C-alpha cells in the first residue's frame, strides 16, 4: 500500500486536520506494516496556475522552453505522487467556508486533460481510478455537509472527476462551539474506517 499524506492547514501544531491526518495514516500503517508514505505539506506553497502554466502544461509544446519545462516538472511531480498512491489521506481545514487556497492550487495542478481526466462522447472520465481517499475535515464553525460547507462537496466532486470515487470523510466540525463534541465525532468516524 502506498499512502499519499497531504496537509494544508496554516495553523501548525494547533491544526486539528493535521492531527487527524496523522492519526489516519498511523491507523493505516498499523494495519499494513509494509505501507509506504509520501508526505506533502501544501502549506509550504503550491504555485497557482496561470497563463504561463496553461501554455506550458496544457498546450504542451513539443520543445518547451526552460521556464516552461520547470512548470511542467512541478505539475508532473504532484501528479505522479497521486498516480503512485493507493490511498490519499487529505487534510481539509475549512477557512471562510471552503478549502484552502493551497489545496485548490494542488487540485488545479493535478487536473490535467488527457492525463488525469479525459472527455469522451459519454462525458468526462477520470483516469485516476482504483484509489481511495480519506479526508480529515476540520472546521471551527462550518457544520460538515451543511449549506455553508463549500469545501467537502467540492473536494468530493473534484476527486470523483479525476476518477477517485471511494471517498470517506472524518469530520471534526463546529469546534468553536463544542470542541470536545467535534473531536469525539471525528474519533468515532476514524474508528469506522477499515484500515
| Confidence at residue 11, expressed as pLDDT on a 0 to 100 scale | 94
| Confidence at residue 59, expressed as pLDDT on a 0 to 100 scale | 80
| Confidence at residue 41, expressed as pLDDT on a 0 to 100 scale | 98
| Confidence at residue 8, expressed as pLDDT on a 0 to 100 scale | 96
C-alpha cell at 112: 490535467
| Confidence at residue 193, expressed as pLDDT on a 0 to 100 scale | 82
Cα(119)–Cα(125) distance, integer angstroms: 6
Q: What is the 3-state secondary structure (H, E, C) of 33-56?
A: CCCEEEEEEHHHCCCCCCHHHHHH
Cα(82)–Cα(177) distance, integer angstroms: 35
CA angle 78, 115, 156 (to 5 degrees): 70
Sequence ranges of the binding site for FMN: 15-17
**Fold classification of 2-192 (topology level):** Rossmann fold (3.40.50)
| Confidence at residue 195, expressed as pLDDT on a 0 to 100 scale | 59
For the chain, the maximum distance between any two Cα atoms, rounded to a whole number of angstroms, is: 56
Sequence ranges of the binding site: 15-17
Cα(153)–Cα(150) distance, integer angstroms: 6
Cα(148)–Cα(140) distance, integer angstroms: 12
Q: How do 117-120 and 87-93 pair as beta strands?
A: unpaired
pTM for this model (two decimals) = 0.94
Q: What is the mean pLDDT of each run of 10 residues along the chain (195 residues)?
A: 97 94 96 96 96 89 90 97 98 97 98 95 96 97 96 98 97 91 87 76
Cα(144)–Cα(149) distance, integer angstroms: 6
Cα(59)–Cα(55) distance, integer angstroms: 5
Amino acid at each position: 500500500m502506498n499512502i499519499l499524506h497531504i496537509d494544508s492547514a496554516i495553523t501548525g501544531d494547533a491544526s486539528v486536520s493535521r492531527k487527524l491526518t496523522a492519526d489516519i495514516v498511523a491507523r493505516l500503517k498499523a494495519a499494513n506494516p509494509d505501507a509506504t508514505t509520501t508526505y506533502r505539506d501544501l502549506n509550504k506553497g503550491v504555485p497557482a496556475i496561470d497563463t504561463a502554466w496553461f501554455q506550458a502544461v496544457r498546450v504542451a509544446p513539443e520543445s518547451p522552453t526552460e521556464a516552461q519545462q520547470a512548470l511542467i516538472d512541478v505539475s508532473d511531480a504532484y501528479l505522479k505522487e497521486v498516480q503512485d498512491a493507493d490511498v490519499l489521506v487529505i487534510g481539509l481545514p475549512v477557512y471562510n467556508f471552503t478549502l484552502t487556497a493551497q489545496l485548490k492550487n494542488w487540485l488545479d495542478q493535478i487536473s490535467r486533460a488527457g492525463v488525469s481526466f479525459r472527455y469522451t462522447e459519454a462525458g468526462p472520465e477520470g483516469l485516476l481510478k482504483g484509489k481511495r481517499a480519506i479526508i480529515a475535515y476540520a472546521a471551527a464553525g462550518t457544520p460538515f455537509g451543511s449549506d455553508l460547507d463549500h469545501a467537502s462537496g467540492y473536494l468530493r466532486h473534484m476527486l470523483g472527476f479525476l476518477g477517485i470515487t471511494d471517498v470517506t470523510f472524518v469530520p471534526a466540525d463546529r469546534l468553536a462551539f463544542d470542541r470536545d463534541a467535534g473531536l469525539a465525532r471525528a474519533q468515532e468516524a476514524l474508528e469506522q474506517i477499515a484500515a
